[in-house]
């Protein structure tokens, strides 16, 4: 029976008749920088990324076409993160027939999120940020879960987007997602404490909270995103941007237009590079250390885009425009914002008007966070003041 069949939906998850065991070796990766790019790294006290070694000692009904059961196949792809082993470790629903266990379907980990738990999780995320200085990588986590969206595909979850699929190793192993295992590990304790939150919501909540905690604008977030149920629902590799393409402007437009975003969104979202730093040994970009990164916080080293790389402001645009400080990083996809006429009109404005940048960034971030999402209830869940009809930001679908 196909793994993708769904036996149960919702927060009331069926207790498994058989609890699979697995041994997974994971070491937190060095933290990566905010936003899209070529695996731009921002290390904290966590160690280097070690490839996950997946082992399974599960005995269950064999699939008709091969020697491995559906449960074993699913285990081989699922990264058992965030303490969900108690409920849906394998993501599979198991029934017992004549004393034998067989996998008959896949349970969706969460249909909707609990508003009070979302509020509690936000406060817990703030504690993690205060301890780990991990704002850049949590922003990147939310962006990369959403940034696979393709507006030309109508069906969920085939269209990609913010659906929690980044928790599965098949997508987490994409080259553009290098280091994001560290971000997920940072949220493990939050998920354990607040289990009635979908992964899709948790990733976007962490991203928005990191922006706000770093001094950025409050983002009008909508929650209630449904999660994908298994690795077979992940998007193929190749939808995320790179930092140094041959034609930066064309590349950025190709990627962001595919998601239904526009030139203003591209420039505003690029402004999140005011946070974070890049490490050449991991991304191929930047200097090993600068006067702005030699003392951390977190593990020292790397090259930042701005002097105060844990403060959200409009200095990214000012510094790129001036090009006076060789200690600061400027990627091809950064420089093009002041070279391409369509981008330059916004970059010039943001360099001198921080209030406008904050307003536009909040709108673009909200749009990005909803790309491809399926909400339950359809109108979503708001844990702050619900935007009015005039204020509400609607993403392209």
| Number of neighbours of residue 291 by Cβ within 10 angstroms | 9
The model's pLDDT over 79-114, given as tens digits with 9 standing for 90+, comes to: 434 443 333 323 333 333 333 333 223 334 455 799
Q: Which two tokens stand for residue 73?
A: 């196949």
- Residue whose tokens read 């402001």: 313
HSE-CB at 229 with a 13 A cutoff on CA atoms is 18
Query: Average pLDDT over the chain, rounded to whole?
Result: 77
Query: From CA 261, how far away is CA 250, in angstroms rounded?
Result: 14
The model's pLDDT over 153-168, given as tens digits with 9 standing for 90+, comes to: 999 999 999 999 999 9
Mean pLDDT of 213-238: 96
CA distances from 235 to 19, 109, 147, 243, 315 (A): 28, 18, 11, 21, 34
For the ranges 29-38, 52-61, 265-274, 347-356, which has the lowest average pLDDT? 52-61
Instruction: Specify the 3-state DSSP secondary structure of 6.
Output: strand
Query: From CA 383, how far away is CA 381, in angstroms rounded?
Result: 7
pTM (predicted TM-score): 0.74
Q: Which two tokens stand for residue 252?
A: 């950025």
pLDDT at residue number 243: 75
| Number of neighbours of residue 12 by Cβ within 10 angstroms | 7
Q: Which residues are catalytic?
A: 144
Phi first, then psi: give them for residue 78, nearest 5 degrees.
-85, 130
Residues 6 or more apart from 64 whose CB is under 8 A from it?
Answer: none
35 dihedral zone (left: phi>0; alpha: psi -120 to 50; beta): left
Is the preceding peptide bond at 284 cis, omega within 30 degrees of 0? Answer: no
Of the two residues 377 and 38, the one the predictor is more confident about is 377
């Amino acid at each position: 029976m196909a793994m993708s069949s769904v036996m149960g939906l919702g927060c009331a998850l069926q207790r498994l008749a058989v609890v699979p065991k697995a041994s997974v070796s994971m070491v937190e990766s060095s933290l990566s920088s905010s936003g899209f790019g070529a695996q731009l790294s921002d290390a904290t006290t966590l160690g280097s990324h070690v490839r996950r070694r997946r082992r399974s000692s599960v005995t269950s009904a064999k699939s008709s076409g091969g020697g491995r059961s559906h449960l074993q196949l699913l285990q081989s792809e699922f990264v058992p993160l965030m303490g969900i082993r108690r409920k849906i470790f394998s993501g599979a629903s198991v029934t017992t027939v004549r004393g034998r266990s067989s996998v008959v379907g896949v349970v969706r980990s969460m249909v909707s999120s609990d508003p009070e738990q979302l509020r509690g999780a936000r406060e817990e995320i703030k504690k993690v940020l205060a301890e780990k200085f991990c704002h850049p990588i949590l922003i990147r986590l939310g962006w990369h879960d959403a940034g696979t969206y393709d507006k030309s595909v109508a069906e969920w979850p085939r269209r990609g987007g913010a659906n929690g699929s980044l928790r599965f190793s098949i997508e987490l192993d994409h080259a553009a997602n290098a280091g994001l295992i560290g971000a997920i590990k940072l949220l493990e304790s939050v998920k354990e404490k607040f289990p009635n939150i979908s992964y899709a919501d948790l990733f976007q909540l962490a991203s928005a909270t990191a922006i706000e905690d770093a001094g950025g604008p409050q983002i009008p977030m909508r929650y209630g995103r449904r999660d994908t149920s298994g690795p077979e629902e992940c998007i193929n590799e190749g939808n995320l941007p790179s930092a140094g393409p041959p034609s930066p402007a064309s590349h950025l437009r190709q990627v962001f237009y595919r998601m239904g975003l526009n030139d203003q969104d591209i420039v505003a979202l690029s402004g999140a590079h005011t946070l974070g730093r890049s490490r050449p040994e991991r991304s191929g970009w930047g200097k090993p250390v600068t006067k702005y990164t030699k003392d951390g916080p977190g593990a020292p080293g790397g090259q930042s885009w701005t002097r105060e790389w844990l403060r959200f402001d409009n200095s990214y645009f000012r510094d790129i425009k001036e090009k006076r400080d060789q200690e600061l990083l400027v990627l091809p996809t950064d420089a093009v914002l002041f070279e391409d006429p369509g981008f330059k009109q916004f970059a010039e404005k943001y360099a001198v008007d921080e209030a406008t940048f904050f307003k536009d960034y909040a709108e673009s971030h909200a749009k990005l966070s909803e790309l491809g999402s399926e909400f339950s209830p359809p109108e979503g869940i708001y844990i702050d003041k619900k935007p009015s009809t005039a204020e509400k930001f609607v993403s392209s679908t």
